[in-house]
Structure 1
Amino acid sequence: MVSSLTPTGKILAVAFGTSGVIHLVRPKTFARSMPRQVPHPIEVIKVSGVAELACAVGLLVPRTRRVAGPASAALLVGIFPANVQMTVDAARAVSKRGVNAQRTAYFAGTAARLPLQWPLIRAAWRAGR
């Protein structure tokens, strides 16, 4: 039997749900973090939004949690390079255009997210137990 979803798992489900909606409603927000080699970036972003929504629902439903946990962990591993790219781009923006509150806050947020990815991957994996 799959254990009940932990508070961290619930937060993860909400984060996936929120991010999934943003990916579908405002895909251009994420377009600049896509490598140029990826064809049809907007469509890829929308597909990733659907995947995030599927993971969110899967984590919340006990019958699907055993599959959704590892799937969520895999998704987090898969999007990590895009998160790194967002941080690199944010650092370049600060370097090229100078320091201001908005650019600095965006860079700080993207940089802070990187080490948080690993505990999220672990939490997602554990949610499937």
Structure 2
Amino acid sequence: MARSERSPLLLAGLLAAAGVTHFVAPKSYDATIPRALPGSPRAWTYGSGAVELALAAGIALPRTRRAAARAAAAFFVGVFPANVQMAVDWQQRPEPLRTAALVRLPLQIPLVLWARGVAHNVAHNKEGR
């Protein structure tokens, strides 16, 4: 399998794994939900996990890959406030946890670029046929 064919599947796998953890260990995600959002944090945790699973499925399927990859890029931007909330809230936690919360912030950039690249590759591959 060529690298360009694996990249979408790796992204789909990452999203699927993250989505599953929202249901398996929701408490840690609940703590990252910005307090300004209405409703219960658990509803947002489950909702974002479901979105990640749907995005994973969409990226895994060639027919929906381009739209799902674009949506994933937007999703990664959209969840950035939760990562900021986590970094703020975890300032009093032990050093490894504080560091992990801060490291998450710049990691959103490569995720957005990865998803955009997957969408671009789909468009580029269709034009080349």
TM-score by length of 1: 0.81
Q: What is the aligned partner in structure 2 of residue 53 from structure 1? A: 53
Q: Which runs of 5+ in 2 are unaligned?
A: 121-129
Whichever residue aligns with residue 119 of structure 1, its letter is P
Q: What is the aligned partner in structure 2 of residue 75 from structure 1? A: 75
Q: What is the aligned partner in structure 2 of residue 43 from structure 1? A: 43
Is this contact kept in 2: 1:6–1:127, CA < 8 A? no
Work out the CA distance in 2 between the residues paired with 1:84 and 1:37.
13
The offset of 1:34, in angstroms, is 1.5
Q: Aligned runs of 1:1-129 on 2, under 5 Å?
A: 4-7=4-7, 9-38=8-37, 39-91=39-91, 93-94=92-93, 103-129=94-120
Counting aligned pairs with the same residue, the percent is 41
1:95-126 CA-partner distances (Å, limit 9, x unpaired): xxxxxxxx211121221121121111011012
| Aligned residues between the structures | 116
Is this contact kept in 1: 2:83–2:101, CA < 8 A? yes
Work out the CA distance in 1 between the residues paired with 2:100 and 2:11.
17
Whichever residue aligns with residue 21 of structure 1, its letter is V
Whichever residue aligns with residue 58 of structure 1, its letter is G
Work out the CA distance in 1 between the residues paired with 2:33 and 2:6.
32
Work out the CA distance in 1 between the residues paired with 2:5 and 2:69.
10
Question: Residue 79 of structure 2 aligns to a residue in which SS?
Answer: helix
Is this contact kept in 2: 1:5–1:59, CA < 8 A? no
Alpha-carbon spacing, 1:89–1:43, altered in 2? closer, same or farther (3 Å) = same
The offset of 1:6, in angstroms, is 4.8
